[in-house]
Structure 1
Amino acid sequence: MKPIFALLALAGLSTAAPNPQSTQDGLSERAAWPNGPFVTSGRWILDASGKNLTYAGTNWPGHADVMIPEGLQYQSIETIVQKVKSLGMNAVRLTFAIQMVDEIYANNGNDITIQKAFVQALGQANGTRVLNQMLAKNPRFSASTTRLQVFDAVAEELAKQQIYVHLDNHISKGMWCCSDTDGNSWWGDTHFSTANWVRGLSYMANHGKSWPALTSIGLRNEPREPKNNPALSRTSYNWQAWYGYMRQGADAVHAANPALLIFLSGLSFDTYLTPVVQGTALTPGSGRFSRADFSAGGGYGVDKLVLELHNYETGVGSCETLKGNLDRNGFQALHSGNGVANVFPVMMTEFGFQMDAQTWTGVYASCLARYLPALKAGWTIWVLAGSYYVRSGTQDYDEGWGLLNHDWSAWRSQGYVDGALKAMVRDTLS
């Protein structure tokens, strides 16, 4: 996430004929949205009728210091979701922190109130002021509403407007992400308890059963080398350990909510998954990735796993270079042959750039605007947020990469929205 180099992939484009649900008289019938649970088959995600589907959406952060979905002091949930829907998007990657779940357990199973959350993160005066702004824009809430109830309301509105929720465990300690020295980098890092992570995934997957829009979950955002923890890096930062942790997290999610697709992210800020795709040794061991290893509760590895990768190569010199990097680092999993041992659906769950008048016309943005739709590869752009309650200590931080402006009232770059983004959504989903 955020300017660090990522990579992804070219992939062969195959077509699969839709298999719509049929009525007794032989006429096809539109199944009730979201028509899940979803499964995977080869490079495709399929709905319950066997029809191919692809995500085209954006990221809505809820993992930072306040641990509440951003922007609600400026706009209502309904208004924000309507903005997403107006682009034709069908998915939101909604992020959360494990700390939120830890505090629920520490509080005898009760979440803390949004009043407490704002005051803890912003201080008494500013926290109270922003809380009151949020309540004015979202009168359904009160000071005693809990953080998780806000997540519930976001998920409810996304369902009303038929937008899939992809829940993402973004970080353990609620804060801006990501750095390789933030204590959240790798399992066993300062703030990254493996046991709490497993517990948090299980809790949120189970809680999400009440969200009709919830169709998938990402196990962990941007695993990365813990550079401020050299002992951990030396003994644990490798593909062999990654494999064990991913299986542990996936097993917990599947046991709690077997309907969900489960997204696996790669190393180096989720920029590559080459050993998984090519079936090479998961070093320093000699084992290899196998779907059969994801077997708890009936072998879900066969039809519930999706690969996710991030890319921020904003300074790339040519589209061919970018596509080659994407292919080598994981997107080749969309097609068989050429050294591909494991075919998967692959999604770019993060890419982004400065939202100004011209950046979107450059090589990086314009290449992805063509590349991802041509592959029918799913994506969620970073980021919807025009501002954050607080980011890295700065309150009311302005997000120059945000699709929305500072007060979430309009598009930050109308030129990008009209000149590229809407067409990218349309071409991906057509």
Structure 2
Amino acid sequence: MKSMLQAPFLHLLAASGGLFSQIAESRTLPRQSGWPFAPFVTSGRDIKDTQGQNVVYAGANWPGAGEVMIPEGLQYQSVETIVTKMKSIGMNAIRLTYAIELIDQIYENDGVDVPLSTAFTEALGAENGTIILDQVLANNPSFTGSTTRLEVYDAIAAECAKQEIFVHLDNHMSRGAWCCNTEDGNSWFNDVDFNVANWTRGLAYMAEHGKSWPALVSMALRNELRSPDSNPELKASSYNWQDWYKYIKQGTEAIHGANPDVLIFLSGLNFDTTMTPVVRGTALTPGSETFDLADFEGYAEKLVLELHNYDNNANDCAALQGGLHNNGYQAMSPAEFGFNMDATEWQRTYAICLAEYMVTLKSGWFIWVLAGSYYTRDGTQDYEETWGLLNHDWSDWRSPEYVEGGLIPLIDGTAPP
């Protein structure tokens, strides 16, 4: 997650000035005879499907990395209803989040995933957990108390395939919890709760598991890498671009080795608000090494950068766009953004300026967030999400005015049917 905007995730191979090498056009891909025409590859600033057509994501985040470690909202609506709601306005993608702890627990349990009955009671307590579980089962009658967490993800992926919604799978946290701050133990590689070996193992596990999902087209290494302020020694010794490069190569190798078909998204430093040395080809300090596609032999055309932006209080459109440009956006195209779903926020500079920018660039995007509420967040159960596209019980749009006046025009302007 986010506390605010997660703006442009951007294509790695679109850097100007010849910074990145050209990918050969002769690569032969297995061609799917129908949607989603995957696997996708990058080509310049674009994502291409196997028919050579541009793919532009226009979607929303569906959180699943909280304490329960299943996607939110199922106590209020069915998987089918939620996916249908997205499809009804023309969205074509979801950013589906998960926690590495989910996979850690599977390994600790001799390869067996945790059932929903256990997941809800452990996260919410025996009484409330049982109540919420019963509501989930009532809305989703194909589930039972013994349905596992990953089987819920499977059901969502299957419904997305049925309704032709791309799945972008995002590792949001290591420990299942609300994201993010610099003192949560999940901030940086080898932080208290960010075990690198478990992380790469988890990425590979989900990449392998996702092979059975026709809708899975891309995966992200990690959401919002940031300064590990609660771990001063780690911060001083490791929070830098040099170590970033070392570890993201481990992550990309884990995903590609398990599933060579998916695109792989990389995030930068400072809550992923900067990718400057990567796109400009300058030194990955404190060392002198630079980002080199040759280090990703065999899958360089699978890499995408994602860049986040948090300027929700911006009142100068040119400055907002210039900041994105200077932090790495000049090299690429997609984006992600979000704001409070009240009556006026969508009419302020931030939302209007970003929408105009993305339409001009024909940029892909994910809005934070679909969720109208959470099973639990920051110690509060049934937590209200005022940034949610959907209302508290996920039954309707929180701001119909924004959906009609801002969101649908953005969809039509970036990823028309």
Compute the TM-score of the two structures, normalised by the length of structure 1: 0.90
Matched, 1:356 2:342: yes
1:83 aligned residue (78, 82, 85): 85
List aligned pairs for 1:284-323, cutoff 5 A. 284-295=286-297, 299-301=298-300, 303-323=301-321
Matched, 1:205 2:207: yes
CA distance in structure 2 between the aligned counterparts of 1:416 and 1:387, rounded to whole angstroms: 19
CA distance in structure 1 between the aligned counterparts of 2:93 and 2:360, rounded to whole angstroms: 19
CA distance in structure 2 between the aligned counterparts of 1:189 and 1:331, rounded to whole angstroms: 28
> Which blocks of at least 5 consecutive residues in structure 1 are unaligned?
15-29, 335-345
Task: Letter of the 1:127 partner, please give it.
Answer: G
Runs of 4+ in 1 over 4 A off after TM superposition: 4-14
Task: Letter of the 1:45 partner, please give it.
Answer: I
What are the superposed Cα offsets for residues 252-282 of structure 1, whole Å, 9 maximum, x if unpaired? 1000000000001110001110111000000
Contact 1:9 1:326 (8 Å CA) reproduced: no
Task: Letter of the 1:398 partner, please give it.
Answer: E
Task: Letter of the 1:33 partner, please give it.
Answer: W
List aligned pairs for 1:175-190, cutoff 5 A. 175-190=177-192
Partner of residue 360, structure 2:
374
CA distance in structure 2 between the aligned counterparts of 1:223 and 1:242, rounded to whole angstroms: 9
Partner of residue 21, structure 2:
none
How much is the aligned-residue C-alpha RMSD, in angstroms?
A: 2.0
Matched, 1:411 2:409: no
Partner of residue 38, structure 1:
40
> Which blocks of at least 5 consecutive residues in structure 2 are unaligned?
17-31
CA distance in structure 2 between the aligned counterparts of 1:4 and 1:134, rounded to whole angstroms: 28
CA distance in structure 2 between the aligned counterparts of 1:387 and 1:379, rounded to whole angstroms: 22
Q: Secondary structure at the match of 2:371?
A: coil
2:375 aligned residue (362, 377, 389): 389
What are the superposed Cα offsets for residues 309-340 of structure 1, whole Å, 9 maximum, x if unpaired? 11221101211111001111111003xxxxxx
List aligned pairs for 1:40-79, cutoff 5 A. 40-79=42-81
CA distance in structure 2 between the aligned counterparts of 1:358 and 1:236, rounded to whole angstroms: 42
Partner of residue 221, structure 2:
219
Q: Secondary structure at the match of 1:50?
A: coil
Moved more, 369-378 or 242-251: 369-378
Matched, 1:347 2:349: no
CA distance in structure 2 between the aligned counterparts of 1:145 and 1:321, rounded to whole angstroms: 49
Partner of residue 341, structure 1:
none
Contact 2:281 2:290 (8 Å CA) reproduced: yes
Partner of residue 26, structure 1:
none
Task: Letter of the 1:250 partner, please give it.
Answer: T
Q: CA, structure 1 residues 322+161, in 2 after alignment: closer, same or farther (shift >3 Å)?
A: same
Q: CA, structure 1 residues 215+54, in 2 after alignment: closer, same or farther (shift >3 Å)?
A: same
Q: CA, structure 1 residues 132+8, in 2 after alignment: closer, same or farther (shift >3 Å)?
A: closer
CA distance in structure 2 between the aligned counterparts of 1:388 and 1:87, rounded to whole angstroms: 23
Deviation (angstroms), 1:5: 7.3
Q: CA, structure 1 residues 51+410, in 2 after alignment: closer, same or farther (shift >3 Å)?
A: same
Moved more, 413-422 or 304-313: 304-313
Partner of residue 342, structure 1:
none
- The size of the alignment, in residue pairs, is 401
CA distance in structure 1 between the aligned counterparts of 2:178 and 2:55, rounded to whole angstroms: 31
What are the superposed Cα offsets for residues 226-273 of structure 1, whole Å, 9 maximum, x if unpaired? 000000000000000000111100001000000000001110001110
Matched, 1:365 2:367: no
Partner of residue 22, structure 2:
none
What are the superposed Cα offsets for residues 55-94 of structure 1, whole Å, 9 maximum, x if unpaired? 0100000010000000000000000001110120111000
CA distance in structure 1 between the aligned counterparts of 2:10 and 2:136, rounded to whole angstroms: 43
Deviation (angstroms), 1:3: 3.6
